[in-house]
Chains A and B, each alone.
Chain A
Amino acid sequence: METNSQYAIILEDVWKVYRVGKTSYPALQGLTLRVERGEMLSVMGPSGSGKSTLLHIAGTLDRPTSGRVIIEGIDVSGLSDAELSEVRNKHIGFVFQSFNLINRLSAVENVALPLAVRGVSYEERVEAALNALKLVGLDGAAGKRPTELSGGEQQRVAIARALVGNPRILLADEPTGNLDSKNTEIIVSLLREINERLGTTVVIVTHNPEVAEKCDRLVRLRDGRVESEVVLHA
């Protein structure tokens, strides 16, 4: 099933139709997108253009109504819930606008959680979590609760959590949407650094042109399709 492809993510003619009662809302309408391995891509577009849906489908959190989805060479279309969960756990790291940390757990426990799900021993995963926190420059805050951290710090903890399992793909849904310009700068630099140093494929959904500028390529969506794309850095 796993093939050596140059693409981290392939979406082919992907449709996603939400049904609420008798009404259907097409979120994606035959979207086709290829993300190369090691690429840093930004996705922009007006609200309702399907940015988040794209990210959820690429992250196997959601299934397309039709079309093909290939993640790291794995065709995920026919996979079971358990198999999809494994793909997420091994290959994908998520970063969200609202950080989505679990408040009752300390920073290091939050970061280590994906490894706990993977079945990694306590000592091993705490060590890995501390390394991930070091990578985002927060190894000093390991014992702190999310509520004791600033927004920027919380997002860095979330990035550490996304990275701790060494995923090949990092999907960020408006990661700077709740941050000021200074923290936006820090987060985007951090994502760029991860992309360059670890070779992680990064996809960022954003409204912020300054964020998009830092990426290799910009894809604009409209009505659930790719409207245009610009290569910024080759």
Chain B
Amino acid sequence: MRLLDTARYAFSALRERRGRSVLTILGIAIGSGLIIALVSMGEGINTTVTGRLLLLGANNIIILPAQGSNIQFTDADVQRISVIPEVTAVAPFYSAVAEFYVGGVKVSGRILGIDPLQLQIIFPGIKILEGETPPPTSASQVSVGYKVAFPPAVQTTSKLYVGQPIVISASTAGGIKTGSFTVTGIYDRFGASLFFDADSAVVMPLPAARKLLGQTSYQAILVNTERIEAVDYIISELERMYGRSVNIISPTTILQTVRSIIASFTIFLALIASVSLLVAGLGIMNTMIMSVMERTREIGILRSIGMTRREVLFTFLFEAVLTGLVGGLIGLGLGTLLSIGFGRYAGNFLRFGPQFEPLPLEPAITPQLLIGTLLFAILVGSLSGLYPARRAAQVDPVRALRTE
């Protein structure tokens, strides 16, 4: 029998038991649809969260002198680090716990002494709400985070305004250092990155920080890369250059942990969905066994007109494969719709990052996922059909022709 004729015959058999076939196919469609929806959602969450962590500085490395080391970071170090391959930016900075006094109100936070033009490395997308950033060379001007300007604990009748003086008391190893500066700008709400809280920080140009803290060398250096995969390599290069005289802080371990948690969660979801597909396979097996029993006489007829046992087996197996194939194909559509719909909806529950906006959740529906799921559905179909088809092949034609 030709393959096309076998297919035609199998199709006519499935059509004869329409209701049952539809339900069986639906089982497979739901199973494979679930796999696609859940896996693509998991992948989507992974991408989104990774992206968000990147935004929060997961692609930044901080290098600072180790305890007891007398290394002094200078512009020469900035230069050396910036030629390491994959390094896209190097920003020397100062940071210290500080208290700010604005018009008689005390606010606690941190100062961040950095070239204001490089602030975007730490806080990508941070925006000025009022005023402007101070020039990089200024030793007397600063810009402030949202919560410094609008302290949440205070009724903001006496809010900070651009041009106002601010007194800063920074805690350093050499005691409390105090100085007065002029506010040139206020940043919009941003939230926290992995290293700094932008909203409670005062951003000072490097000369201003140097003046306040009385230091000549840089306190630490921020190393930025665009490719998160390059972080490990850069760390190894930094270790080679500085040995034990520095501490290197990198959030990749956090990122890797988060990603592996999401990955195992995705695998867990995929396993659950696979179980539902396997259960649907039991459905195929069940209907096929019933079908073989009901069609015993038909099997006898087929054998009497010269069909071999193998051909009988193949004919019945084909019905199961066809069920898996059609169910799988419907499942592809169903899963795609599900994950798109779910992605749109679930984004609202996954808020974090700046201003707690809903996360744009883009389900990752890859060709590999679709093809893999379809093949899985066909595999489930054929495995479920194997036993009933073997039973059909083993039917004794003489006895089969006698059944009513």
Contacts and interface: CB of A to CB of B under 8 A. Distances in A.
Contacts of A86: 306
Contacts of B308: 81-82, 85
Interface string A102-119: 101100000001101111
Contacts of A56: 398
Given A102-B298, A104-B12, 20 more contacts: A56-B398, A59-B304, A61-B304, A61-B397, A61-B398, A61-B401, A85-B306, A85-B307, A88-B303, A89-B307, A96-B401, A100-B297, A100-B300, A104-B13, A104-B15, A114-B306, A117-B1, A117-B307, A119-B1, A161-B305
B260 to A, nearest CB: 54
A62 B16 contact: no
Contacts of B398: 56, 61-62
Interface in A22-51: none
B1 A105 contact: no
B300 A119 contact: no
Contact of A100 (B9, B307, B401): B401
Contacts of A113: 302, 305
Given A104-B13, A104-B15, A117-B311, A85 B303 contact: yes
Contact of B304 (A88, A105, A116): A88
Interface in B174-191: none
B310 interface: yes
B369 interface: no
A214 interface: no
Kindly list the 5 A-B residue pairs having the minimum CB-CB distance in the complex, ordered from nearest. A89-B306, A114-B305, A85-B308, A104-B16, A88-B306
* Most chain A beta carbons < 10 A, residue from B2, B304, B309, B397: B304
Interface of A: 56, 59, 61-62, 81-82, 85-86, 88-90, 94, 96, 100-102, 104-105, 113-114, 116-119, 122, 161, 165
Chain B interface SS verdict (over half): helix
A107 B25 CA distance: 29
A118 B12 CA distance: 19
Nearest to B6: A116
Interface in B286-319: 297-298, 300-311
Contacts of A62: 397-398
B75 interface: no
Nearest to B396: A62
Given A61-B397, A102-B298, A104-B12, A94 B1 contact: no
A117 B299 CA distance: 13
Interface in B365-400: 397-398
B303 A116 contact: no
A48 to B, nearest CB: 14
B306 A119 contact: no
10 contacts: A85-B303, A86-B306, A88-B306, A96-B401, A100-B297, A104-B12, A105-B12, A116-B1, A116-B9, A117-B307
Interface in B264-303: 297-298, 300-303
Contacts of B300: 100
A116 B1 CA distance: 6
Nearest to A57: B398
Given A100-B401, A119-B1, A81 B304 contact: no
B303 A61 contact: yes
A62 B12 CA distance: 29
Contacts of B5: 116, 122
A81 B309 contact: yes
B107 to A, nearest CB: 83
A82 B303 CA distance: 10
B383 to A, nearest CB: 24
A100 B305 CA distance: 11
B60 to A, nearest CB: 69
A139 to B, nearest CB: 21
Contacts of B16: 104
Given A104-B15, A105-B12, A117 B397 contact: no
Given A104-B13, A119-B1, A82 B302 contact: no
A77 B302 CA distance: 21
B291 to A, nearest CB: 12
B303 to A, nearest CB: 7
Nearest to B5: A116
* Most chain B beta carbons < 10 A, residue from A61, A85, A114: A85
Nearest to A103: B16
Nearest to A99: B301
A105 B16 CA distance: 10
Contacts of A119: 1-2
